[in-house]
Amino acid sequence: MENKNLYNYILGVADNSLILGQRLGELCGHGPSLETDIAGTNISLDLIGQTRSYYQYAARLMNDGRTEDDIAFLRLEREYKNVLLVEQPNTHFGYVMGRQYLFDVFHLMFLKELQGSKDDTLAAIATKGIKEVSYHKRFSGDWIKRLGDGTTESHQKMQEAIDDLWTYTDELFDMSDADKMLVSEGIGVDVSKLKKDYYREVSELLEEATLQVPDSTYFTRGGKKGIHSEHMGYLLADLQYMQRTYPNMEW
Amino acid sequence: MKKNWPLWEVFVRSKNGLEHRHFGSLHAADAEMALENARDVYTRRNEGVSIWVVESKHITASNPENNGELFEPAQDKVYRHPTFYNLPDEVKHM
């Protein structure tokens, strides 16, 4: 029973990386320039690498023959517990960088806390991920500054992206049942405590980028409970196609 | 293609103690972006510990048309190579 809670907790953490990694992976070969294309794909691979470490650990905990691939590819939509933010589509490059930055700031804060987890495996995964995610945040943050403080058109598109994506930020700090249980055991991260620092850091960067910090107080949520936006089904169809069509296929 | 970002040359040092070597070139809007792009394009397989970037326009290159006068006179001057010494057997890796 205890393992089942930890299993659910790990999936809640790892699904964010899987789905964002998949989203970025869709852009492989479609980036605006060779250099940004490779950069985006590198970030995608970092995230999928982190996901594998989490899923391998989760599969080991369940000890019933399931593998990391089963967890990644063979669940139903409602069983993915990623936040809505990371499943949002690649509308345009500013949107992709906005989505990335709004997640990266949270992700880095989260991993820094997870480093102190009583669970040695999770702490080790966090330590490894911190260097990668520090770079992700540097990359996406730099692009927000460039686009926000760039041309009239880039400024406008960046502002629209931030305004659109803002509604998905508050969900990052929701506590699922698994979160609450694991926090009380000293294993999980109390994400609700990250909220203030998160908005402060994001606001500072947006101001530096000459962008308006949205003042909307309407927030959309649901991903953490498995209730996803209309984009998720298409994403999963892409992600799962090979394993569903050729079960147990390997590269 | 006036809209392209300027071209930058990338130099990477593979290990501490070695020199920076020319790795290739890339496009970037400014030096900071050139460094990040170089990191992503040229060091993602663990190739480096240090990167230099310089905008290509700052490099002055010799003209291939002048290769005759620049380089050919050196071709028949073998005595400029230290190949006329008898090396003792104990000296290795020369």
- Answer for the pair B63, B26: CB distance below 8 angstroms, yes or no: no
Under 8 Å CB pairs connecting chains A and B tally to: 28
Residue B22: what residue type?
H
Tally of domains in chain A: 1
Question: Of the candidates A35, A42, A139, which has its C-beta nearest B26's C-beta?
Answer: A35
Q: What value does the mean pLDDT take over residues B53-82?
A: 88
- Indicate the SS3 state at residue B79: helix
Question: Complex ipTM, two decimals?
Answer: 0.76
Q: Which residue of A has its CA nearest to B34?
A: A35
CA distance A21 to chain B (A): 16
- Cβ–Cβ under 8 Å, residues A182 and A231: no
Domain that holds residue A208: 2-245
- The pTM for the full model equals 0.89
Count of helix runs (H) and strand runs (E) in chain A:
10, 0
Q: What is the CATH number of domain B7-80?
A: 3.10.20.520
The mean predicted confidence, pLDDT, of chain A is 96
B window 50-89, beta carbon within 8 A of A? none
- Give the mean pLDDT of chain B: 89
- pLDDT tens-digit series, residues A28-64: 999 999 999 999 999 999 999 999 999 999 999 999 9
Distance separating alpha carbons of residues A45 and A18, to the nearest angstrom: 10
**pLDDT tens digits for range A136-187:** 999 999 999 999 999 999 999 999 999 999 999 999 999 998 999 999 999 9
Structural domain boundaries in chain B? 7-80
Interchain CB contact of A249 with B (< 8 Å)? no
The answer to whether position A251 is within a domain reads no
The answer to whether residue A163 sits within a structural domain is yes
Contacts of A107 (CB under 8 A, 6+ apart): A16, A133, A136, A137
